[in-house]
Amino acid sequence: MSRTHDALLAFHRDLIRIPSPSHEEGPIVDFVSGWLRDKGAEVERIGDNVVARAGRGPHLLLCSHLDTVPPTAAWTREPFAPELEGDRIYGLGSNDALASVAAMTFAFLDVLENDGPVSMTLLLVPEEETGGEGAERAWPILREQAPPPLGVVVGEPTGLDVAAAQKGLLILELTTEGDGCHAANARALGARNAVRLLADDIRSLADVDLGPEHETLGGTTLEPTVTRAGERRNVVPDQASTWLDIRTVPGVSHSDLAAAVRAKVGGDVRVHSDRLHPVECPPSAPLLAAARAARPEAKVYGSRTMSDMVWFREVPAIKCGPGRTERSHTPDEFVLASEVAAGHDFYCRLAATFAEHAS
Protein backbone atom coordinates (compact mmCIF):
# COMPACT_ATOMS: atom_id res chain seq x y z
CA MET A 1 0.00 0.00 0.00
CA SER A 2 1.01 3.64 -0.46
CA ARG A 3 2.31 5.92 2.25
CA THR A 4 -1.10 7.64 2.26
CA HIS A 5 -2.80 4.30 2.90
CA ASP A 6 -0.36 3.55 5.72
CA ALA A 7 -1.36 6.84 7.38
CA LEU A 8 -5.02 6.12 6.69
CA LEU A 9 -4.86 2.74 8.41
CA ALA A 10 -2.94 4.19 11.36
CA PHE A 11 -5.70 6.79 11.77
CA HIS A 12 -8.33 4.03 11.54
CA ARG A 13 -6.60 2.11 14.35
CA ASP A 14 -6.45 5.28 16.46
CA LEU A 15 -10.22 5.62 16.12
CA ILE A 16 -10.81 2.03 17.25
CA ARG A 17 -8.70 2.61 20.38
CA ILE A 18 -11.12 5.27 21.65
CA PRO A 19 -14.31 3.72 23.09
CA SER A 20 -17.29 5.50 21.55
CA PRO A 21 -20.56 3.73 22.35
CA SER A 22 -23.61 5.88 21.65
CA HIS A 23 -24.01 8.78 24.11
CA GLU A 24 -20.33 8.47 25.15
CA GLU A 25 -18.65 9.91 22.05
CA GLY A 26 -16.98 12.90 23.75
CA PRO A 27 -13.39 11.55 23.67
CA ILE A 28 -13.48 10.48 20.00
CA VAL A 29 -15.12 13.77 19.03
CA ASP A 30 -12.33 15.69 20.81
CA PHE A 31 -9.70 13.54 19.09
CA VAL A 32 -11.09 13.94 15.57
CA SER A 33 -11.74 17.67 15.99
CA GLY A 34 -8.18 18.28 17.19
CA TRP A 35 -6.69 16.02 14.52
CA LEU A 36 -8.50 17.91 11.74
CA ARG A 37 -7.51 21.30 13.15
CA ASP A 38 -3.88 20.18 13.27
CA LYS A 39 -4.17 19.45 9.54
CA GLY A 40 -5.35 23.01 8.92
CA ALA A 41 -9.07 22.30 8.51
CA GLU A 42 -11.85 24.69 9.46
CA VAL A 43 -13.77 22.78 12.16
CA GLU A 44 -17.11 23.52 13.81
CA ARG A 45 -18.88 21.62 16.61
CA ILE A 46 -22.65 21.23 16.74
CA GLY A 47 -22.98 19.41 20.02
CA ASP A 48 -20.92 16.28 19.39
CA ASN A 49 -21.23 16.60 15.62
CA VAL A 50 -17.92 17.41 13.92
CA VAL A 51 -18.21 19.64 10.84
CA ALA A 52 -15.16 20.40 8.67
CA ARG A 53 -15.06 22.34 5.41
CA ALA A 54 -12.52 22.63 2.60
CA GLY A 55 -12.10 23.19 -1.12
CA ARG A 56 -13.85 24.99 -3.95
CA GLY A 57 -16.31 23.74 -6.55
CA PRO A 58 -19.67 21.96 -6.43
CA HIS A 59 -20.66 21.33 -2.82
CA LEU A 60 -20.48 17.67 -1.70
CA LEU A 61 -21.22 16.52 1.87
CA LEU A 62 -19.74 13.31 3.28
CA CYS A 63 -21.39 11.96 6.45
CA SER A 64 -20.61 9.00 8.69
CA HIS A 65 -20.95 8.17 12.37
CA LEU A 66 -18.43 8.00 15.20
CA ASP A 67 -20.50 5.94 17.64
CA THR A 68 -20.61 2.18 17.99
CA VAL A 69 -22.84 -0.33 19.72
CA PRO A 70 -21.50 -1.50 23.10
CA PRO A 71 -19.26 -4.61 23.15
CA THR A 72 -20.92 -7.84 24.24
CA ALA A 73 -19.65 -10.75 26.35
CA ALA A 74 -19.32 -12.78 23.14
CA TRP A 75 -16.16 -10.90 22.12
CA THR A 76 -13.03 -13.09 22.29
CA ARG A 77 -10.68 -10.14 21.62
CA GLU A 78 -10.16 -6.80 23.28
CA PRO A 79 -12.73 -4.61 21.47
CA PHE A 80 -10.66 -1.44 21.70
CA ALA A 81 -7.25 -2.92 20.88
CA PRO A 82 -7.09 -3.12 17.07
CA GLU A 83 -5.38 -6.27 15.78
CA LEU A 84 -4.12 -6.78 12.24
CA GLU A 85 -4.10 -10.39 11.07
CA GLY A 86 -3.29 -10.70 7.40
CA ASP A 87 -5.70 -8.27 5.72
CA ARG A 88 -8.15 -8.26 8.62
CA ILE A 89 -8.37 -5.41 11.15
CA TYR A 90 -10.27 -6.50 14.27
CA GLY A 91 -11.88 -4.03 16.65
CA LEU A 92 -15.25 -2.65 17.74
CA GLY A 93 -16.53 -0.27 15.06
CA SER A 94 -13.73 -1.21 12.66
CA ASN A 95 -16.35 -2.06 10.03
CA ASP A 96 -19.39 -0.07 11.20
CA ALA A 97 -18.59 2.66 10.57
CA LEU A 98 -15.03 3.73 11.46
CA ALA A 99 -13.84 2.38 8.11
CA SER A 100 -16.07 4.97 6.41
CA VAL A 101 -15.03 7.66 8.88
CA ALA A 102 -11.34 7.08 8.16
CA ALA A 103 -11.78 6.82 4.39
CA MET A 104 -13.95 9.93 4.22
CA THR A 105 -11.61 11.92 6.46
CA PHE A 106 -8.61 11.18 4.25
CA ALA A 107 -10.61 12.02 1.12
CA PHE A 108 -11.44 15.31 2.84
CA LEU A 109 -7.71 15.88 3.46
CA ASP A 110 -7.08 15.42 -0.25
CA VAL A 111 -9.61 18.18 -1.00
CA LEU A 112 -8.08 20.35 1.72
CA GLU A 113 -4.57 19.96 0.33
CA ASN A 114 -5.63 20.60 -3.27
CA ASP A 115 -8.32 23.24 -2.58
CA GLY A 116 -10.72 21.16 -4.65
CA PRO A 117 -11.98 19.76 -6.99
CA VAL A 118 -15.13 20.20 -4.89
CA SER A 119 -16.26 22.21 -1.94
CA MET A 120 -16.51 19.47 0.69
CA THR A 121 -18.22 19.34 4.04
CA LEU A 122 -17.25 16.45 6.28
CA LEU A 123 -19.93 15.65 8.87
CA LEU A 124 -19.02 13.06 11.53
CA VAL A 125 -21.90 12.43 13.87
CA PRO A 126 -22.73 10.78 17.22
CA GLU A 127 -25.75 8.67 18.19
CA GLU A 128 -26.43 7.14 14.78
CA GLU A 129 -27.02 3.77 16.43
CA THR A 130 -29.64 5.19 18.80
CA GLY A 131 -30.87 8.40 17.12
CA GLY A 132 -31.27 11.86 18.56
CA GLU A 133 -28.33 14.24 18.67
CA GLY A 134 -26.45 13.28 15.49
CA ALA A 135 -27.33 14.06 11.88
CA GLU A 136 -30.95 14.61 12.92
CA ARG A 137 -29.75 17.62 14.91
CA ALA A 138 -26.91 18.85 12.69
CA TRP A 139 -28.49 18.64 9.24
CA PRO A 140 -31.29 21.21 9.82
CA ILE A 141 -28.58 23.70 10.78
CA LEU A 142 -26.23 22.87 7.91
CA ARG A 143 -28.91 22.93 5.20
CA GLU A 144 -29.64 26.57 6.01
CA GLN A 145 -26.03 27.57 5.44
CA ALA A 146 -25.11 28.74 1.95
CA PRO A 147 -24.49 27.13 -0.38
CA PRO A 148 -26.38 23.92 0.44
CA PRO A 149 -24.78 20.68 -0.77
CA LEU A 150 -25.71 19.37 -4.20
CA GLY A 151 -25.20 15.81 -2.99
CA VAL A 152 -24.72 13.80 0.20
CA VAL A 153 -22.84 10.51 0.65
CA VAL A 154 -23.61 8.54 3.81
CA GLY A 155 -20.77 6.23 4.84
CA GLU A 156 -21.96 2.78 5.90
CA PRO A 157 -20.53 -0.68 5.13
CA THR A 158 -22.07 -1.45 1.73
CA GLY A 159 -19.09 -3.16 0.09
CA LEU A 160 -18.82 0.08 -1.93
CA ASP A 161 -22.06 -0.77 -3.69
CA VAL A 162 -24.38 2.23 -3.96
CA ALA A 163 -27.68 2.35 -2.09
CA ALA A 164 -29.73 4.86 -4.09
CA ALA A 165 -32.87 4.33 -2.01
CA GLN A 166 -33.63 3.35 1.56
CA LYS A 167 -36.75 2.09 3.28
CA GLY A 168 -38.39 4.07 6.05
CA LEU A 169 -39.60 2.78 9.40
CA LEU A 170 -43.03 3.14 10.95
CA ILE A 171 -43.47 1.66 14.43
CA LEU A 172 -46.97 0.95 15.72
CA GLU A 173 -48.13 -0.57 18.99
CA LEU A 174 -51.14 -2.87 18.77
CA THR A 175 -52.99 -3.47 22.05
CA THR A 176 -55.99 -5.66 22.83
CA GLU A 177 -58.17 -5.54 25.95
CA GLY A 178 -59.73 -8.61 27.54
CA ASP A 179 -61.28 -9.73 30.84
CA GLY A 180 -58.82 -10.65 33.55
CA CYS A 181 -59.82 -13.66 35.65
CA HIS A 182 -58.61 -16.98 37.04
CA ALA A 183 -57.66 -19.22 34.13
CA ALA A 184 -59.76 -22.08 35.55
CA ASN A 185 -62.92 -19.96 35.38
CA ALA A 186 -62.38 -18.23 32.02
CA ARG A 187 -64.57 -20.52 29.89
CA ALA A 188 -67.41 -20.63 32.40
CA LEU A 189 -67.39 -16.85 32.67
CA GLY A 190 -67.04 -16.28 28.93
CA ALA A 191 -64.02 -14.12 29.63
CA ARG A 192 -62.23 -12.55 26.68
CA ASN A 193 -58.56 -13.55 26.65
CA ALA A 194 -56.47 -10.60 25.45
CA VAL A 195 -53.82 -13.00 24.10
CA ARG A 196 -56.35 -14.73 21.83
CA LEU A 197 -57.66 -11.37 20.65
CA LEU A 198 -54.13 -10.22 19.88
CA ALA A 199 -53.39 -13.46 18.01
CA ASP A 200 -56.52 -12.96 15.90
CA ASP A 201 -55.45 -9.40 15.09
CA ILE A 202 -51.95 -10.50 14.13
CA ARG A 203 -53.34 -13.19 11.83
CA SER A 204 -55.66 -10.64 10.21
CA LEU A 205 -52.67 -8.49 9.29
CA ALA A 206 -51.22 -11.24 7.09
CA ASP A 207 -53.18 -9.89 4.11
CA VAL A 208 -53.37 -6.17 4.95
CA ASP A 209 -52.96 -3.94 1.91
CA LEU A 210 -49.65 -2.11 2.35
CA GLY A 211 -49.72 -0.34 -1.00
CA PRO A 212 -47.84 -0.82 -4.26
CA GLU A 213 -44.29 -2.08 -4.55
CA HIS A 214 -41.39 0.26 -5.23
CA GLU A 215 -39.23 -0.43 -8.27
CA THR A 216 -36.00 -0.55 -6.27
CA LEU A 217 -37.06 -1.30 -2.70
CA GLY A 218 -39.85 -3.79 -3.30
CA GLY A 219 -42.90 -3.75 -1.07
CA THR A 220 -43.67 -2.41 2.38
CA THR A 221 -43.27 -5.12 5.02
CA LEU A 222 -44.94 -5.59 8.40
CA GLU A 223 -43.60 -7.79 11.19
CA PRO A 224 -44.87 -8.18 14.78
CA THR A 225 -41.84 -8.15 17.10
CA VAL A 226 -41.81 -7.76 20.89
CA THR A 227 -45.06 -9.11 22.36
CA ARG A 228 -46.20 -8.76 25.97
CA ALA A 229 -49.10 -10.29 27.90
CA GLY A 230 -49.82 -11.44 31.43
CA GLU A 231 -47.73 -11.74 34.56
CA ARG A 232 -49.03 -14.94 36.16
CA ARG A 233 -49.45 -18.34 34.51
CA ASN A 234 -52.88 -18.99 36.07
CA VAL A 235 -54.43 -15.60 35.26
CA VAL A 236 -56.09 -14.75 31.95
CA PRO A 237 -54.47 -11.44 30.93
CA ASP A 238 -56.71 -8.43 30.52
CA GLN A 239 -54.26 -6.78 28.10
CA ALA A 240 -51.83 -7.90 25.41
CA SER A 241 -49.70 -5.88 23.02
CA THR A 242 -47.14 -6.20 20.28
CA TRP A 243 -44.88 -3.82 18.37
CA LEU A 244 -45.40 -3.70 14.62
CA ASP A 245 -42.21 -3.01 12.66
CA ILE A 246 -43.25 -1.62 9.25
CA ARG A 247 -40.55 -0.95 6.65
CA THR A 248 -41.96 1.59 4.23
CA VAL A 249 -41.33 2.65 0.63
CA PRO A 250 -41.80 5.91 -1.28
CA GLY A 251 -45.31 6.54 -2.55
CA VAL A 252 -47.11 5.13 0.51
CA SER A 253 -47.71 7.51 3.41
CA HIS A 254 -47.23 6.47 7.00
CA SER A 255 -50.65 7.83 7.89
CA ASP A 256 -52.29 5.65 5.21
CA LEU A 257 -50.43 2.59 6.49
CA ALA A 258 -51.56 3.24 10.07
CA ALA A 259 -55.14 3.62 8.82
CA ALA A 260 -54.91 0.34 6.88
CA VAL A 261 -53.74 -1.50 10.00
CA ARG A 262 -56.52 0.02 12.13
CA ALA A 263 -59.12 -1.07 9.60
CA LYS A 264 -57.99 -4.72 9.86
CA VAL A 265 -57.80 -5.17 13.63
CA GLY A 266 -60.10 -4.98 16.61
CA GLY A 267 -57.46 -3.72 19.03
CA ASP A 268 -56.13 -0.23 19.58
CA VAL A 269 -53.33 1.00 17.29
CA ARG A 270 -50.96 3.69 18.57
CA VAL A 271 -48.27 5.37 16.47
CA HIS A 272 -45.00 5.11 18.37
CA SER A 273 -42.68 6.56 15.69
CA ASP A 274 -43.35 7.85 12.19
CA ARG A 275 -40.45 10.27 11.65
CA LEU A 276 -38.22 7.86 9.69
CA HIS A 277 -39.50 8.17 6.15
CA PRO A 278 -38.19 6.41 3.02
CA VAL A 279 -35.75 8.28 0.83
CA GLU A 280 -34.48 7.84 -2.71
CA CYS A 281 -31.92 9.59 -4.91
CA PRO A 282 -33.44 10.84 -8.18
CA PRO A 283 -32.17 8.66 -11.05
CA SER A 284 -31.09 11.79 -12.96
CA ALA A 285 -29.08 13.26 -10.05
CA PRO A 286 -25.46 14.22 -10.89
CA LEU A 287 -24.42 12.48 -7.65
CA LEU A 288 -25.66 9.11 -8.87
CA ALA A 289 -23.99 9.58 -12.25
CA ALA A 290 -20.76 10.54 -10.48
CA ALA A 291 -20.90 7.45 -8.27
CA ARG A 292 -21.41 5.20 -11.29
CA ALA A 293 -18.48 6.85 -13.06
CA ALA A 294 -16.25 6.57 -9.99
CA ARG A 295 -17.03 2.87 -9.54
CA PRO A 296 -18.58 1.34 -12.68
CA GLU A 297 -18.58 -2.15 -11.13
CA ALA A 298 -20.73 -1.06 -8.17
CA LYS A 299 -24.24 -2.47 -7.82
CA VAL A 300 -26.93 0.19 -7.42
CA TYR A 301 -29.62 -1.11 -5.08
CA GLY A 302 -32.30 -0.28 -2.54
CA SER A 303 -31.46 -0.71 1.14
CA ARG A 304 -33.84 -2.29 3.67
CA THR A 305 -31.85 -1.05 6.68
CA MET A 306 -31.88 2.37 8.32
CA SER A 307 -29.04 4.89 8.31
CA ASP A 308 -28.52 8.64 8.47
CA MET A 309 -29.53 8.76 4.81
CA VAL A 310 -33.06 9.17 6.19
CA TRP A 311 -32.37 12.79 7.16
CA PHE A 312 -31.22 13.97 3.71
CA ARG A 313 -34.52 13.93 1.83
CA GLU A 314 -34.14 17.50 0.53
CA VAL A 315 -30.99 16.79 -1.50
CA PRO A 316 -29.79 13.84 -3.63
CA ALA A 317 -28.21 11.31 -1.27
CA ILE A 318 -26.67 7.85 -1.54
CA LYS A 319 -25.30 5.36 0.99
CA CYS A 320 -21.92 3.86 0.17
CA GLY A 321 -18.89 2.80 2.17
CA PRO A 322 -16.18 0.19 2.76
CA GLY A 323 -16.82 -3.00 4.71
CA ARG A 324 -19.72 -5.47 4.75
CA THR A 325 -23.05 -4.94 6.50
CA GLU A 326 -23.20 -8.56 7.72
CA ARG A 327 -20.18 -7.91 9.97
CA SER A 328 -21.87 -5.02 11.77
CA HIS A 329 -22.71 -5.51 15.46
CA THR A 330 -21.04 -8.93 15.56
CA PRO A 331 -18.51 -10.24 18.12
CA ASP A 332 -14.92 -9.86 16.92
CA GLU A 333 -16.00 -7.37 14.27
CA PHE A 334 -13.45 -6.79 11.52
CA VAL A 335 -12.86 -4.97 8.26
CA LEU A 336 -10.23 -5.61 5.62
CA ALA A 337 -7.39 -3.14 5.36
CA SER A 338 -7.77 -3.35 1.59
CA GLU A 339 -11.44 -2.35 1.96
CA VAL A 340 -10.56 0.78 3.94
CA ALA A 341 -7.97 1.74 1.31
CA ALA A 342 -10.47 1.07 -1.48
CA GLY A 343 -13.01 3.26 0.31
CA HIS A 344 -10.57 6.16 0.41
CA ASP A 345 -9.78 5.74 -3.28
CA PHE A 346 -13.49 5.65 -4.13
CA TYR A 347 -14.32 8.84 -2.22
CA CYS A 348 -11.42 10.64 -3.91
CA ARG A 349 -12.57 9.50 -7.36
CA LEU A 350 -16.14 10.45 -6.48
CA ALA A 351 -15.06 13.99 -5.65
CA ALA A 352 -13.43 14.25 -9.07
CA THR A 353 -16.37 12.79 -11.01
CA PHE A 354 -18.87 14.84 -8.99
CA ALA A 355 -16.99 18.01 -9.92
CA GLU A 356 -17.47 17.05 -13.58
CA HIS A 357 -21.12 15.99 -13.41
CA ALA A 358 -22.38 18.74 -11.08
CA SER A 359 -20.71 21.68 -12.82
Closest CA to 94 of 198, 18, 152, 41: 18
- Name the 3-class secondary structure at 43: strand
Q: Pick the catalytic residue: 83, 113, 127, 128?
A: 128
24 is catalytic: no
CB 236 within 8 A of CB 183: yes
Kindly tell me the burial class for residue 222, based on how many C-beta atoms sit within 10 Å of its own C-beta (0-12, 13-18, 19 or more): buried
CB 62 within 8 A of CB 104: yes
- Residue 154: how many other CB atoms lie within 10 Å: 32
- Residue 19: how many other CB atoms lie within 10 Å: 16
Q: Give the Cα separation of 30 and 32 in Å (integer).
A: 6
Q: Give the Cα separation of 355 and 57 in Å (integer).
A: 7
- In the 8-state DSSP scheme, what is residue 218? B
Catalytically active residues, by annotation: 128
